[in-house]
Structure formats: structure tokens, C-alpha cells
Amino acid sequence: MKLAEALIERADIQRKISVLRSRLENNAQVQEGTSPHEDPADLFKEFDEKVKRLEYLISHINYTNATAKSASGNTIAELIVKRDMLALKISALGGVVNTASSTVRRATHTEIKILPAVDVKALQATVDKLSKELRITETEIQSCNWLTDLVE
């Protein structure tokens, strides 16, 4: 199984677990003299099976990410951290660019004038450069995911 396939299965199982939780809660109590729409014992059994499979996948995905190397020599885990930090920087700097770029309307010339305290053009160029680096990193991660076998 490729790492990408394990990631897809993990996401699917997480969605199924969420649905099972709701179904369990919906069938946790009934009016006296009636029975639940679904047997809670069957739901618990299915829930436990999904959790067990999820545990297996997460463990093996994490191990694979920590050991598999990309073409650049970085582990997938290192690339994921890099991607997350780039996204954090882009979000923060993008917020500053948006705030500094916003225009403040003044009704009269005697009102206080609001000016940007940062070089918006230079900061936007930095955001653009980081965004390109993020796209390249994300592409490298996706490539690794489809080329790397899950360590089992």
C-alpha cells in the first residue's frame, strides 16, 4: 500500500468514526417499550474495529513519515513541518499586508490620517515568495506520498 492510499483510508475512517459516534449517541436511549433503530452492540463493535484500524494506520503513517526520504533528502515529516511553518508565516504576514493595505476613509481633512507602518510592497513580495515555496513543498510531499510504500 502506498502512503497516499493509507492517508486516504485514514481520512475515510475518521469520517466513519464520526458518523458512528453520532449513530451511537442517537441510539443510546429509547422510550420505554420501544427499541433503538440500530443495535448499540453492533455499533460499538464496528466503532472498535474502525478505531483499531485507525490506530494501525496512524502508527504506520507516522513511522513512514519519520523514516522515508524525499528526493531532496528530507524526511516526509520534515517536509510536513516545513509546510506547516510556511503556511503559518504566510497567514501572519498576509494578515499584516491586508491590515496595512486597507484604506481608511476620512470625512474631512482634519481627521487623523492612518498610514501603513510597514512596506506593503516588500511584505507582499515576501508572501508571494513563501507561497511559491509552499507550493513546491506541498508538491514534493504529494509526490512522496504516491511513491513511498507504507512501512508495515
| Calpha distance 67→51 (Å, rounded) | 24
12 pLDDT exceeds 80? Answer: yes
State the maximum Cα–Cα separation within the chain, in Å, rounded to a whole number: 77
Q: pTM of the full predicted structure?
A: 0.84
**Could you read off the pLDDT of 75-102 as tens digits, one per residue?**
999 999 999 999 999 999 999 999 999 8
- When divided into structural domains, the chain yields a total of 2
C-alpha count within 13 angstroms, C-beta hemisphere, residue 84:
6
Residues above pLDDT 90, as percent of the chain: 89
Residues 123 and 142 in one domain: yes
Domain boundary residue, one of 18, 41, 67: 67
**Could you read off the pLDDT of 108-127 as tens digits, one per residue?**
777 788 888 999 999 999 99
Average pLDDT over residues 54-70: 98
For residue 18, how far is the Cα from the chain centroid? 17
- Cell numbers representing residue 101 in the block: 493595505
| Calpha distance 150→146 (Å, rounded) | 10
Quick one: pLDDT at residue 112?
80
Which residues, listed in sequence order, are joined to residue 2 by a DSSP beta bridge?
149
Residues 134 and 98 in one domain: yes
Quick one: pLDDT at residue 114?
83
Residues 147 and 83 in one domain: yes
